[in-house]
Amino acid sequence: MAQITDILNLCADKMYDQEAFTEPLCELIKLFGLPFQKRKSSDEANYSVEVSQSITQLGYLMSIQSSQVRIQICKSVVNFFNTELPGKLLSGYQPTSPNYKIRMAEIGGLAEILVLSLTLVENQLTEKLWVLKALQHLSISGESCEQMVNVQGARRLCLCLNGADPSGQLLFRSSDILWNLLEKVSKEEVVNQLRSLECVHALKEAFVELVCGFRHCDHQLRNDLLVIATLLAESPAVPLIESGFANILIVLATCTEVKLPNPLVKGFKLTYSYEDFEMKKLLFNIIGILSKDPSSAQLFSENHVIPALLYYVKQNQRSAFPDWSAAQYEELQLHALAVLASVAPVLVDKYLSCQANTLLLVFLEWCISQDPFFGRGNSFHGTGGRGTKLAQMRYSLRVLRSVVALYNDAVNSNLCDQGAISQLLDILKYAADISKEKESIALLEIQADILFILSVVCEDDNNRKELFSCEGIDILVSYLKMDPTRLCSGIGHNCLLLSALDCLWSCVIGCFIAEESFIEKQGVFLLLDLLAVRDNNLCNIILGILVEFSDNPKTVLHMSIWRGKRDRTAANVLVQLWRQEEQDLGVKRDQNGKIVDPKRPVITSFQRQQKVIPVPACCPSFSVMEISESIRAKIYSLFWKLGFENLPGLSAKDVVTLAIIQHYIDFKVGEVWSEISAEIKEEFRPVTSDERALKLISEVSENTGRMVLGLQNEALERQHNQEIKEEKKIYKEIQATLVQKEMIDKSWQNFLARTSNYEALKKAKMHQKTLIEASRSKAKLHNGPEHSTDIPKLHTTYSNFIDDLRVYVRGGTGGMGYPNLGGEGGRGGDVWFVARERTTLKSIREKYPQKRFVAGTGANSSVKALKGEKGKDCEVHVPLGISVVDDDGKQIGELNAAGERFLAARGGLGGSLATNFLPCKGQRRTVHLDLKLIADVGLVGFPNAGKSSLLSKISHAKPEIANYAFTTIQPELGKIMYADYKQISVADLPGLIEGAHANKGMGHKFLKHVERTKQLLLVVDISGFQLSMKTQFRTAFETILLLTKELELYKEELVTKPALLAINKMDLPCAKDNLDELMTQLENPQDFFHLLEEEMIPENTLEFRELIPVSTYTGEGIEELKTCLRKSIDEQAEQVNEEYRKKKLLLLQTSKEEQMNRS
């Protein structure tokens, strides 16, 4: 290669004198086009320098003014790209790699040399075409393209576009090389070389020539040049408008729609081929790009761009161009709408004059109609619109959004006058309904655009806000209920929510009716729910909305009662947002949130880094700007409405932060004065009085910081004390649990000891019999009345007890009147409830299984008796203690004494002149007969305390007795018969449980019977009580307090009744020890309250008249209990009689005094 190159140089030198060297020179150049062969694999790298230099020298030979030589050089370069293997190889040689010569050409800079040689062949068409062909091959390589651009290759090639060439090869090859440059080199650099007016003119002339071409290749080249023109249009410095190229492109884009004669497009005709379709889209795209340049507005107006684009704003029933396919027309339509969104803001007046708003609203109405249109969704603009009209709706709304975003009153008024608000709300509901089934980016964008349009249209106009509130509030509320996890979906939920909040700000705030509607629909709760998510993008706008809403008192009320997850309050959320904001701003706080620097407590890290810069009085300082930029000022404003005292849900750390919030403005005022002082001292020396004033202001601010720091320390101290108190309480509970556990273990050990030894069991049985015999009465009492219960054939009990019965009552219908003689029909009979002894609800149910009581019908008026007789009354005998209650739970009557009557249903009036002689129907209703037992003594206790056993011992009643809880499931009534035939009724009530006052279990059903007993007998298990393994064990003392608490919570007057205490199961082991401990606790119960839970302690304790230890198993204390009951009942009766006598005496004295005064 080196030797051939030397010969080439010699021949080239000789050619200047003798042309005979042309042929051998061309033959030598042909050698470069032959395949290269190598002996070893390393030869390619070893001889790369010589080869690349030889190829470079080959390029320099282009300077020889010989057409034959230049063409041969280009042919040899083209042969570099021939990858066919040689037919015959030399012995011991092999072919080089296929791209070896191309790489050597890149190293040698051959492309750069050939570009420069274009100047040499400027007027030689054949030579220029060969050079361009060589460059066309070289432009496949990115490195060669870089070399071309380095020598202004793009500009040189562009100037070749419009050269004279009947074959069209010049234009084809130049444009192809330009395409490769744009693809393989930086587009900005290529466009920068094509930005000259000379290049744009060349491009324009080439394009105009191709527009009228009829060949398929002409159409392809035309579209290629359009793409290059599009890239140029994106650069604002390219003189497309000045060169007139933009005008030609706009005219071509609109000529088929507006059909105006224009000499620029004379002879142009669409063939509706694929190339024409692509050209149409490219022209639309260029219009969209040119719309960014304000100077293009006049061109758009002159060439009627707005009407041309609006031509596509119509239903897709049939194409205006019959030769476009449905898919092509849809794509053009969507492209036109997308371009209209860019052009409309530039030509607002033209937009309004063409009634564009009307066309778009009509088009949107079609988009939500049931028209059987099927969108193809093939194009970029049709994404998400397959099978629907969503794509058309999407880009129509983009047009409305673009013009509305100008905040032009004429545009907004034009929209509202055509009912756009209601129509947009309908479209919004339509899109929201579809989103519930299947969400997409297009649907979310449609909803966000509508919300933005409504925000702009309704802003600052209360009438429009009221119109929006009719339907828009419900839609906004649905958006605010969005699941916060969807904000990170990546398909636009966050933009939709921000648009909804912006719409709320613009369309609701400021209109009283809209605000009230939003608050009534719990909008404030929803805003707080979103605020609790603590999304930085949402917090600022939500706080701003809440501040605006806080002028309404209902907003403050809703904020006060709002509760979030884990029972968080609004105050707690706001305090946490404050702390997060201070952390982001770099405000210094210690680990407990306390103030670190009392002089500047709320200063941010950014403010600390700023130097003192004197600013004019009209310019805000850093402290003032911080108020407007951070959310702390908004949080302070909300707390100013909520108040700073008695806020629920705040921890001690929250209270510490709240102290800072409360004095936020004081601290900011101090910061401003600190900045003023620093600026003054930077430039001046203040006089003594000013310096003293500034110092005083600084001290006041610092004192405020110290005062807040003191409040924070107090809050933390209170928290510390509370924690200590809770720890002590927990420690006491643990101690009490351990004591109970020890007692249970001790009881279990005793039980094992008693039941594991046969001899001990036998001895205990004998001892038990002895105690039973000893407890039986063997002699009469001489010191008091004899109260024996051993009366033969006495057995009083009530089984299958019923305390509630629902019955139907109806008064009788009146009799018919006599119209001819004016006779009146008889009144219908009445239904009466009459209290009678020895009657039960059970007997009523058995006697009247239908539980229907209907009075008789009044007699009709007749000639013999013009006044008809009244119908027969229906009297229902009910037991004493009945309350009559209607279906609504309201008590309407009460029967406590024998003979008392209650009118349950009144009979209807007879026919008379007033009723046109027609009878009236009687009153009808359903009532409940609610029985509350009237007994002298009521047994009250927890389940399995031994109440039924005790009743069987002191009376002849036979209730069900078993060793499990809730043996008694209905009240039992027994009577104690004494020797003097005195009777005392005793009611055994089913066992209560904790929470009976709140109707837990059957609380109300059982506690109501306690109300009418004269005295209470509390029955307590000396060993304690535990309902199940899941409930807590209660000692006898705790049991007494819990029973008292349940009675007190049900009705406070129950605690004032006379009460006795029976301590049962004294036959159990450790009973005597437990009794001694219980007696000590009952003597001074207040001394032991600290060991109990606060919920167990009653406000008033029962005062027991007697405490009687008994054992229903052995009979111990039974007779004493009966005696105490008789004594207590007699004393109460005597007390009642004494009060009655005193009352009568007082009335007698009062009457005598009145008589004396009269005389």
909 and 915 Cβ atoms separated by less than 8 Å:
yes
Write the pLDDT tens digit of every residue in 405-429.
Answer: 999 999 999 999 999 999 999 999 9
Residue 1148 has pLDDT above 70, yes or no: yes
DSSP code, position 1072: H
Residue 780 has pLDDT above 80, yes or no: no
Q: Going by C-beta distance under 8 Å and a sequence separation of 6 or more, which residues neighbour residue 64?
A: 12, 15, 70
Write the pLDDT tens digit of every residue in 227-241.
Answer: 989 988 888 888 888
Whole-angstrom Cα distance, residue 606 to residue 585? 8
- For 959, the token pair is 């209730």
Write the pLDDT tens digit of every residue in 603-649.
Answer: 888 888 877 777 777 777 778 888 877 889 999 999 998 888 888 88
Residue 1151 has pLDDT above 70, yes or no: yes
Chain position carrying tokens 């035939």: 981
Residue 789 has pLDDT above 50, yes or no: no
Whole-angstrom Cα distance, residue 75 to residue 33? 7
750 or 402: whose pLDDT is higher?
402
User: Stretch 781-808: mean pLDDT, rounded?
Assistant: 53
Q: Is 79 left (phi over 0), alpha (psi -120 to 50) or beta?
A: alpha
Write the pLDDT tens digit of every residue in 1062-1091.
Answer: 999 888 877 888 888 888 888 888 877 777
Whole-angstrom Cα distance, residue 603 to residue 660? 12
Three-state secondary-structure class, residue 901: strand
**pLDDT of the residue at 319:** 47
> pLDDT band for position 400 (50/70/90)?
very high
Whole-angstrom Cα distance, residue 190 to residue 716? 70
Residue 483 has pLDDT above 60, yes or no: yes
Write the pLDDT tens digit of every residue in 950-1009.
Answer: 888 888 766 555 443 444 445 677 888 887 778 888 887 765 555 544 444 444 455 666
Write the pLDDT tens digit of every residue in 574-613.
Answer: 999 999 998 988 889 888 889 888 888 888 888 888 777 7
SS (H, E, C) 832-877: EEEECCCCCHHHHHHHCCCCEEECCCCCCCCCCCCECCCCCCEEEE
Whole-angstrom Cα distance, residue 15 to residue 31? 19
Q: Going by C-beta distance under 8 Å and a sequence separation of 6 or more, which residues neighbour residue 1119?
A: 775, 777
> pLDDT band for position 221 (50/70/90)?
confident
130 and 70 Cβ atoms separated by less than 8 Å:
yes
Amino acid, single-letter form, for residue 203 = L
Residue 377 has pLDDT above 60, yes or no: no
Whole-angstrom Cα distance, residue 16 to residue 29? 17
DSSP code, position 1159: -
**pLDDT of the residue at 966:** 41
Q: Name the most confidently modeled range: 248-257, 416-425, 490-499, 1101-1110.
A: 416-425
**pLDDT of the residue at 352:** 92
525 or 775: whose pLDDT is higher?
525
Which stretches of 862-945 are assigned E, i.e. beta strand? 874-878, 882-886, 891-895, 901-905, 924-931, 937-940
**pLDDT of the residue at 1003:** 40
Q: Torsions phi, psi of 708, nearest 5?
A: -65, -40
User: Stretch 770-781: mean pLDDT, rounded?
Assistant: 57
